[in-house]
Amino acid sequence: MSVARASTTLVRTGSTWHTGDMSQKTKSKRSGIKVRRIVIHGINHARAACQAAMAQETTASLELWSARSAAGSLGPAWFGNITEIVQKEFPALTIIGVLDCGDAPGNALAALRHGITCIYFSAPPAVTEKIKAIARHTKADVRTRRPSMPDLMDFSDPSDILQRHFS
Strand partners for 64 = 38, 97
Three-state DSSP at 128 gives: helix
**Comparing C-alpha atoms, which of 85, 149, 89, 83 is closest to residue 116?**
83
- pLDDT (mean) for 16-34: 43
Q: Is 30 a residue whose pLDDT tops 70?
A: no
- pLDDT (mean) for 136-153: 96
> Do 99 and 119 touch, CB atoms closer than 8 A?
yes
- pLDDT (mean) for 149-153: 95
**Amino acid found at 145:** R
Q: Where are the domains of the chain?
A: 42-166
**Comparing C-alpha atoms, which of 61, 55, 53 is closest to residue 32?**
61
pLDDT tens digits, 65-119: 999 999 999 999 999 999 999 999 999 999 999 999 999 999 999 999 999 999 9
Q: Please tell me the predicted confidence (pLDDT) of residue 31.
A: 52
